[in-house]
Structure 1
């Protein structure tokens, strides 16, 4: 009887401590605009769950690559995609006079439009203009 209880307890502990599959993190973003500067694509995106559209836009930088996208993986304006974004703003820099951020050897200036955040973001979910599935 002790062995059965021991086996049940150990089994319970092993199953409860087992690693669970990681949920896909990130937010759904709606693509507002796609632009480019020299060797960098600039993807303007906004969280899909905003209450007032085009008021909280972020700019995502992606290196221009020679990778060919399949048609269903190509980023399109007005479509939603799940991205894990991270800021490229220099850490520990406190300045209100910075005019942009250098990415891939190119200075990406901040937009004068106050609806676009004064920051530049990156993501590993995009390669060029190709959306890489996070699954």
Structure 2
């Protein structure tokens, strides 16, 4: 009985009322849909004029650039740290080979392949590793 009398007294009522108000004042924090993706890293604003030619490719287009920075800036992927074997200036030039049959074994990456002659192997961007079939 004394407990109920204490609750219904003025001090008890104030404590009970403030407890109810604090319980009702909950804050919900919404973190949103999740972490934001990082914005793309900006490419170089300028490239040096140093001449260290690279062969680069974008899709079926192969082109020689004066340096790796220029190739990257143009959106090409570097495939060799030297000029493209067929010149590649202006991109996508076709190499014409004779029909001579002198088979060679050539490699590109980890793939070995036999070509009818060295010109056709180079035109397909393969490096000759030996004469004859693979």
- In the superposition, the TM-score normalised over structure 2's length comes to 0.25
Query: Which one has the bigger helix percentage?
Result: 2
- In the superposition, the TM-score normalised over structure 1's length comes to 0.25
Q: Relative contact order (alpha carbons < 8 A, sep ≥ 6): 1 or 2 greater?
A: 1
Query: Which one has the bigger strand percentage?
Result: 1
